[in-house]
Structure 1
Amino acid sequence: MSRVFQLAFLLLSLAVCLSTQHATRDAQTVLAAGPPHRNVTKSIAIVGAGSGGLAVLKTLLDLPEEVRSSWEFALYEQHRDVGGLWLPDPNPPHPPALPETPLYPRLRTNTPHPTMTYPGFTFRPGTPLFPTHNYVQQYHADFAEHFNLSSYIHLNHTVLATGWRGNNTHGEWVVDVEYDLGTKVYRRSFDHLIVANGHNHYPRIPHWPGEEDWLASSPTREILHSIFYRNPERYTNQTVIVVGGGASGRDAALQIGPLAKTYQSLREGSVPPDGAQVTVKPPISHFTNTSVVFEDGTSLTSVDSLVLATGYEFRVPFLAQSPPTSGIVSPALEVAPSTTANSTTAQVLTSNLRYIFPLYEHIFSLSPAHPPTALAFVGLPVLIANCPSDRAQALLVAHAIADPTILPSRDGMFTALLRREDNMRQRGYDPYVYGHKMVGGDTEAQDYQNALVRYLKQHGKLPDDGKDYVESWRKASRVHSALLARGWTRIESEGEQQKWLEGVETEDEWADLMQRLAAWQEEWENEHGQGLDEYAAV
C-alpha cells in the first residue's frame, strides 16, 4: 500500500496537470452552442457555488430591478451541489488523483458559526455552536434555496477554458463549459467573468533533499498531503510527523496524537493546538535513508508517515487555458512559479502559486488586456471569515459592474495596490508570499471588509447608517473564539447543548448566547484554572 502513496507524492504534479487536460479538446468536442442571448444588455458568468459564488449571485440579484432586469446570470458549479469545500467527496481519495475536496469526516468549524454567516442569514435553529461540516454545507444549501438562486446555478458544469476577445476598454469572454457527465461541451460568451472557485484544490508540496531515498528505503513509509487525509485511525501505532500549523495541521495533530507517536513540525513562533498530544519539532532540513533531519540538527528515525498540512497553490486552470480554435492565443492568467515579475512589471495577470497579481483589493484584475470589471475574484483573502467577507467583496463587484465609474482610475487602483504591498513589506511580510493573507489577524480582516462597504457608502451606492459593516458582536465573538470553544466543549461533555440552544434563532439571540457562554466559561475558568485537557479547544 505504501507504494501507492509514494506514487502520490512523486506524481502529484501530474495530477495537477490532469485538471486542465480537458481544456485542450479540439473543435469537434464543442458539441453544442450555449443558449442564445435574447434582449440581454449584460451577461455575467460566475464560477463556483461555494460561499463566494453564492454571495455574488445573490448580491447581483439584489441590485434594483431597473438596473439588472435585462442582465443574464449563469453560475457554473462542477460538483453535484452547492457548498464548495464543505460538500463531501462522494468517493474516497485515490492518490495521485486529487479528491474533490480536502474535507475529512471529523471536520468541524474552529470558530463559532454565527461569526461565519452571511449578514442577516443565520444557521438553522439548533445548530451546535461549533458545527460539523454537514451543518455548514446545509447552511449554503439553505441560503441558495431561501433566496431562489437555484434557477441560475448549473450543477455538474465544469468551466474548462476561458479567453478574452477584445481590448482594455471592451470585449467579451469566450467560455467553454463541460456538462452531461463530461460528454459534451458548449461555448458561450459573457461580458463579465467572476471567479469564486476557492483555493483549496491544488496542494502545495514542499520537497527536501533525500526524500525520495527515504521513501524508497522502506515499503511502509509515506508522505501525503492533508488533502488526502480522512481518518486518524489509519495512523494507529505509527510514528507520524504533521508538517504545518494551519487549520488542517491543527486538526491532524489533535486527531492523530492520541493514536500514534506524533510530532508537529512548526516554524518558530508557532505552537501546537491546545490539548494536542504532540512533540514540537522545528522545520525539516532534509532526509537520510533512515532519518528525518530538522533544522536544529536533531533527527527522528522509525518515522512511518508525514502529513503535509502545507497549504494550497493559487491555480485557476480555466484562466490559464484559452478555448481551442477560438482565435485567442494569450491565456488570461499566466502561471509562473519562479517569476521575477511584480504588480508593476507584469504584462498579464500572473500567479506565482502564492499570489495572483495585479489585483485591486484582491478583487479586480488590472491586467492590461481587459477593463478592470471584466474579471473579478471573490474569495481570495485567507485567514478571514469567508461568508461575510465574500458578501462585502460581492457588494463592490456588483455595484462596479452596474456602474464602473465608482472605481478609481486604473492608475489609482495600481497606486492603492502598491501601497498595500509596501505596507506588508514594512511589517516584515513579502507580499508575493503572503499576498492574500490577512496577516494582521481578525483586526485586519475586519478593517478590510469595513473599508469595502464604507467605500460604497461614500459613493452613494449604499445607505450610510454610520455603522461598521462587521458588527460589534461578531468582532467580540471572534476575539473570544477560543474561550467559546472551551465552553462549548464543556457543554457538550455535560450534554447540555439543547438547553443552551433552545429558542435561539435570530442574530441577536445567537449574539446573546455567545456573550452568556463567554461569561459562564470565564467564571468557571477563574474558579478552576485553565488548560484542563478535557476542556481543550476544538
Structure 2
Amino acid sequence: MVNVLQLVLSLLPLSGFWDRPQSTLNVLHDAFVHDSVEPPPTEPTKSIAIVGAGSAGLGVLKAILDLPESIREDWEVVLYEQRRAVGGVWLPDPPGYHVEPPEVPETPLYPRLHTNTPHPTMTYPHFPFPPGTPLYPDWEAVLNYHVDFAAHYNLTPHINLNHTVVFAKWHAHDGTGDWHVEVHAQHGEDEDEVVIRRTFDHLIVANGHNHYPHYPTWDGTKGWLANSQQGKPARQILHSVYYREPEKFANLSVIVVGSGASGRDMAQQIEPLARVVYQSIRETKETAPDTTVTPKPPIAYLTNYSVIFEDGTELFDIDAILLGTGYEFRIPFLSSPQSSVLLTDPATSFNSSTAQTLTTNLRYIFPLYQHIFSLAPTVPPTALTFIGLPVLIANCPSDFAQGQIVAHALANASLLPSHDEMLNDLISRERSVSARGYDPYYEGHRLVDGDTEAQDYQDSLVDYLKKNGAIPDDGRKYVEPWRRASRSQAPLLLRAWKRAGKLGEQERWLAGIETEDEWADLMARLAEWQREWENTHPALVASTYSSPEWLYE
C-alpha cells in the first residue's frame, strides 16, 4: 500500500521550499493531520503525551511503537506538534512569515544553512539518507529525512499538527497521579481555535532547546542603539534566531559575537558583503574558517558611540552586533504562570540535592537522571521525561537511544534504579564535571568531554537495557565503530568534501551509495583519500579545523 505522505512528498519539488505556495504546505499538513482529539472510546491502560515532532519527538515515538504489541496494545500514544509539519528546527518559516523582537520566530533556520557534520553520523540507526544526498546537505534534505522517517515507520497516525500545549499540570493522588493538559488546536486559518483538555499518565517533553534566545547584557546598550550614524541604517543588536539573509548587512560594519555554529555561519555569509566583519570570541576559540574576519575579545560594554572590548580596545564605526550566543532552557507550559512543575530562576541557589521541584537556571534543567528522568520530589521519574536535552551530540541517534530507555521504563518502571541511586548517580556526574574544571550548573547538558563522552553516553543507555534484560544483548555497542570513527574524523572529512567539490568529484564519490554500510565505507575511503593528500602536501593543509570541538557548539 502506498503511504499517503510519501506520495505527497514525491510530488513536491526539491528546492524552493521557503517560497512554496501555501497550498503546497497545506497538502503536506493534510497528509499529516489527525483530528482524533478525543480520548479513545475504551479506557487505555496507559496514556502518553509527547510534545514536539522534531528529531526528539519522532525518536521517542518510534521507540515506544517498537515495543512488543503485547505490551503496548492498550496504550494511547499522542504526539502534539504546534507547527504545520514535522521536522522541528529544520522546518522553515511559513511563506511570508516575519516577526520582530521581542516575538520569537518559529525556527532559527536560515535559507543558506547546511549541516556541519556528515549526514551518515546524524541518522537514526539503520535509516540512512537517500542515495545521492551530498555528504553535508542543506536544511531541506534534513527536513525531508525527518518527514520520510515519520512516514516510513507509520508514525503519522499518532501526530497532531498545529496543536500547541498551553499547560501541563501534575495532579498527585494515591501515590501516583496524572497530567492535566490543555492543548489549543488550529485546523485551518479561518477556523476558530479548539481548546482540548485531556489527562495523561505520562508526559514526554521533546520540544527542543533552540527557541528562546540568550542575550548578553552590556552596560551602555540603550545609548549605543539610540545613536546611529548619520546616513546609515538604525543600529541593531540581533540574535541569530532572527538571522535569515546576509544581504541585509551589505556595506555595514558588523560584530559577530560567538564562535559556535551560528556565529561561524553568520560571519562566513556576511563577510563577502559587509564593509568589515569582526568576530568577538573567547581566547581559546577561533574565528570562522575560510574568512578574513578580524578576531576581537569579548565585549566589555558599550558607549553612545563605540564598543569597548575586555582588552580595552575600542571600535567606533559599528552598525550591527549579531549574537550567536545560544539559547535558554525554558519550557513555558511547565512553568509559571501556566504550571508550577518547573521553577524558572536564573539566580537559583538550589542544586540537585536541595531542589524541591524541577528547576531551570536557563542553562540546566535539574535534577534529572541521565538528562531524562525527573528526580524532583513532586513528580515521579516515569511520569515526566525529557528527550533531546544533551548538547554536543548527534541528535537523531541520541534521541532514539534516550527514547528506548524511556519506552522500556514506561513498560516497566522497576527497570530504573531506586530514586536514591539515580540521584547519587546524578550528583556523581556533576562532581565529575567539576573535577574537570567546569561548573556543572553553567555547562548544563553540554557533554564537556566532546565526542567520546557523547558516544559513551548513548552506549551506556542501551547497555543498561541489555544488562537488565529489556532488550536482547547482541554483543554490539549501540554506537557503531564507523560512527565513532567518522565523528572523530569530521574535520578531515569536511576538508575532503570541500576538496572533492573543487575537483568536481563529489558526484563520483556518491555514485552507487545507498545502504548504511556503504555510507560508512564512503566516509572511510574519503578520509583516507584526504589524509594521503595532506601527508604529501603539508604546506597546503588548512589548520582551521584542528579541533573537532567547533562542530558541536
TM-score when normalising by structure 2: 0.88
Aligned-residue identity in percent: 59
1:136-191 CA distances to partner (integer Å, 9 max, x unpaired)?
00000000000000000001111111101115931110110111256121101100
Return the alpha-carbon distance in structure 2 between the equivalents of residues 131 and 58 of structure 1.
Answer: 24
CA 70–246 in structure 1, closer or farther in 2 if over 3 Å, else same: same
Task: Provide the residue aligned with 1:248 in structure 2.
Answer: 262
Q: CA offset at residue 463 of structure 1? A: 1.4
Q: CA offset at residue 252 of structure 1? A: 1.0
- Alignment equivalent of 1:147, drawn from 148, 153, 171: 153
Q: CA offset at residue 312 of structure 1? A: 0.3
Return the alpha-carbon distance in structure 2 between the equivalents of residues 122 and 530 of structure 1.
Answer: 36
Task: Provide the residue aligned with 2:279 in structure 1.
Answer: 264
1:360-401 CA distances to partner (integer Å, 9 max, x unpaired)?
000001111121100000000001000010011001100000
Counterpart of 2:334 in 1: which secondary structure? coil
- Alignment equivalent of 2:397, drawn from 351, 374, 388: 388
Contact 1:274–1:531 (Cα < 8 Å) also in 2: no
Contact 2:392–2:446 (Cα < 8 Å) also in 1: yes
Contact 2:108–2:243 (Cα < 8 Å) also in 1: yes
Task: Provide the residue aligned with 1:20 in structure 2.
Answer: none
CA 164–37 in structure 1, closer or farther in 2 if over 3 Å, else same: farther
Counterpart of 2:382 in 1: which secondary structure? helix
Counterpart of 1:490 in 2: which secondary structure? helix
Contact 1:167–1:369 (Cα < 8 Å) also in 2: no
- Alignment equivalent of 1:185, drawn from 187, 195, 205: 195
Q: CA offset at residue 497 of structure 1? A: 2.3
Return the alpha-carbon distance in structure 2 between the equivalents of residues 306 and 175 of structure 1.
Answer: 40
Return the alpha-carbon distance in structure 1 between the equivalents of residues 482 and 183 of structure 2.
Answer: 42
Task: Provide the residue aligned with 2:73 in structure 1.
Answer: 69
Task: Provide the residue aligned with 2:501 in structure 1.
Answer: 492
CA RMSD of aligned residues (A): 1.9
Matched to 1:397, the amino acid is V
Return the alpha-carbon distance in structure 2 between the equivalents of residues 153 and 345 of structure 1.
Answer: 37
Q: CA offset at residue 256 of structure 1? A: 1.4
Q: CA offset at residue 237 of structure 1? A: 1.5
Contact 2:368–2:375 (Cα < 8 Å) also in 1: yes
Contact 2:283–2:297 (Cα < 8 Å) also in 1: yes
Return the alpha-carbon distance in structure 2 between the equivalents of residues 422 and 535 of structure 1.
Answer: 33
1:505-535 CA distances to partner (integer Å, 9 max, x unpaired)?
1111001100111111122222333656899
Contact 2:491–2:545 (Cα < 8 Å) also in 1: no
Residue 166 of structure 1 pairs with residue 172 of structure 2:
yes
Higher relative contact order (CA 8 A, sep 6+): 1
Return the alpha-carbon distance in structure 1 between the equivalents of residues 543 and 410 of structure 2.
Answer: 51
1:258-314 CA distances to partner (integer Å, 9 max, x unpaired)?
222111111121112321221111110001111100000011110011110000000
Counterpart of 1:362 in 2: which secondary structure? coil
For residues 48-447 of structure 1, what are the structure 2 equivalents within 5 Å? 48-90=52-94, 91-96=96-101, 97-167=103-173, 169-181=175-187, 183-218=193-228, 220-260=234-274, 261-321=276-336, 331-447=340-456
Task: Provide the residue aligned with 1:525 in structure 2.
Answer: 534
Counterpart of 2:145 in 1: which secondary structure? helix
Contact 1:490–1:535 (Cα < 8 Å) also in 2: no
Matched to 1:93, the amino acid is H
Total equivalences in the alignment = 501
Q: CA offset at residue 492 of structure 1? A: 2.1
1:394-453 CA distances to partner (integer Å, 9 max, x unpaired)?
011000000000111111111001001111111111111112001100001011111111
Q: CA offset at residue 127 of structure 1? A: 0.4
Q: CA offset at residue 108 of structure 1? A: 0.6
Counterpart of 2:65 in 1: which secondary structure? helix
1:325-352 CA distances to partner (integer Å, 9 max, x unpaired)?
xxxxx61111111111111111110111
Q: CA offset at residue 502 of structure 1? A: 1.2
Structure 1 runs of 4+ off > 6 angstroms?
A: 532-538
Contact 1:400–1:406 (Cα < 8 Å) also in 2: yes
1:88-123 CA distances to partner (integer Å, 9 max, x unpaired)?
011443211211100001111000000000011000
Return the alpha-carbon distance in structure 1 between the equivalents of residues 237 and 540 of structure 2.
Answer: 32
CA 276–92 in structure 1, closer or farther in 2 if over 3 Å, else same: farther
Task: Provide the residue aligned with 2:511 in structure 1.
Answer: 502
Return the alpha-carbon distance in structure 1 between the equivalents of residues 433 and 544 of structure 2.
Answer: 37
CA 103–332 in structure 1, closer or farther in 2 if over 3 Å, else same: same
TM-score when normalising by structure 1: 0.90
Task: Provide the residue aligned with 2:5 in structure 1.
Answer: none
Q: CA offset at residue 467 of structure 1? A: 1.9
Counterpart of 1:318 in 2: which secondary structure? helix
